[in-house]
Structure 1
């Protein structure tokens, strides 16, 4: 399942505030594996951008404080 970039940013910002992976996963109804993948991709400055049924990978500069 592909997620919107805005949701990923919101989830990662929430993780930065509460620092509890289980709480964030429960709040946004995402798996731990999904969140760990987003964290890994954030550290590589890579976003997965979705358009219709096609998923594109593009490079983006992450802002430290959302």
Structure 2
């Protein structure tokens, strides 16, 4: 299972979803879907935009966990 660590990154950067939306141009609703692990897919363009807006790399946002760890 691949998990997006958006909530952790927002907490670390002390940003709200609304602030990230303003920085990235991604809608608040789409960010909430990503944050809440409800997304079934993630476009590379969206991942790039998140990394640019948060000043991080894809490895900072993505985590792989086996089913037992999840």
Which TM-score tier does this pair reach, normalised by the shorter chain? 0.3 to 0.5
Q: Which has the higher helix share?
A: 2
Q: What is the TM-score with the length of structure 1 in the denominator?
A: 0.43
Q: What is the TM-score with the length of structure 2 in the denominator?
A: 0.41
The answer to which structure, 1 or 2, has the higher relative contact order (CA under 8 A, 6+ apart) is: 2
